[in-house]
Homo-oligomer: A and B are copies of this chain.
Amino acid sequence: MGDNEVKKISMAVIKRLPRYHRYLAELLRRDITRISSAELSRLMGLTASQIRQDLNNFGGFGQQGYGYNVSDLYYAINRILGLNTSYNMIIVGAGNLGQALANNTDFSKRGFILKGLFDINPKLIGLKIRDVEIMDIDVMEEFIYTEEIDIGVICTGRESAQETADRLVKAGIKGIWNFAPEDIKVPEDVALENVHLSDSLLTLSYIMNEKKLARKFS
């Protein structure tokens, strides 16, 4: 690996980072100052070994014989997750889900600032959700330029998801959070995170049936 190549972290590790972040936040709230990988493993239901492996992908945050300083580790992961900056965000599709996300204050607390909502429905255009206006999708590109939007949240229907993504990418957006039940395609340099709610519900349905069968045969 070359000197200025960034070490490739596996998706499995990345997906666990927000969870570490969440547990460390809880420990901070409880005024706990230090924790060992063994204790944390009990809390989180992971192996201590995995925790140490995961964290060592990013550096040695612990101290032999002591463990990890909760606050230090929390802020380190905060930084690793890119939460030391703020992001400008827009939501495309101001239906029920789009509006619900707009109303969620957790995101702005973490530095994801909602700058605008967009829709094609004239009945919605002009409405405000928590001081953020719903605008006509026709002016979306210009808004992205002038307001320097980083993240686009897709809350449209399945049919318009790819088209919306294409427009966002073309306008220079760097990350897409997709809630439409469709796998969209974006260029390699754009970050994409899918939240397929119905996939999740179908998984629940599968597991329920699996457990029902297990009960039947035991």
Instruction: Kindly identify, within residues 157 to 201 of chain A, every residue whose CB is under 8 Å from any CB belonging to chain B.
Output: 174-177, 181-183, 189-193, 195-201
Q: A14-B207, A100-B96, A189-B211 are in contact. Are A202 and B4 (CB under 8 A)?
A: no
Cβ of A57 under 8 Å from chain B: no
Chain B residues with Cβ under 8 A from A214's Cβ?
A: 6, 189
A211 touches B18 (CB 8 A): no
Chain B residues with Cβ under 8 A from A44's Cβ?
A: 183
List the number of copies, as a whole number: 2
A211 touches B191 (CB 8 A): yes
Residue among B80, B174, B183 making CB contact with A212, cutoff 8 Å:
B174
Interface size on A, residues (CB 8 A): 64
A201 touches B189 (CB 8 A): no
A174 touches B211 (CB 8 A): yes
Chain B residues with Cβ under 8 A from A197's Cβ?
A: 101, 104, 195
Residue among B6, B87, B213 making CB contact with A205, cutoff 8 Å:
B87
A203 touches B193 (CB 8 A): yes
Cβ of A61 under 8 Å from chain B: no
How far is B178's CA from A201's CA once the two chains are assembled, in angstroms?
Answer: 10
Instruction: Kindly identify, within residues 97 to 115 of chain A, every residue whose CB is under 8 Å from any CB belonging to chain B.
Output: 97, 99-101, 103-104, 106-107, 110, 112
B198 touches A193 (CB 8 A): no
Residue among B107, B196, B203, B213 making CB contact with A198, cutoff 8 Å:
B107
How far is B214's CA from A144's CA once the two chains are assembled, in angstroms?
Answer: 23
A binding-site residues for B, Cβ under 8 Å: 4-6, 9, 14-15, 17-19, 21-22, 44, 80-83, 87, 96-97, 99-101, 103-104, 106-107, 110, 112, 150-151, 174-177, 181-183, 189-193, 195-215, 217
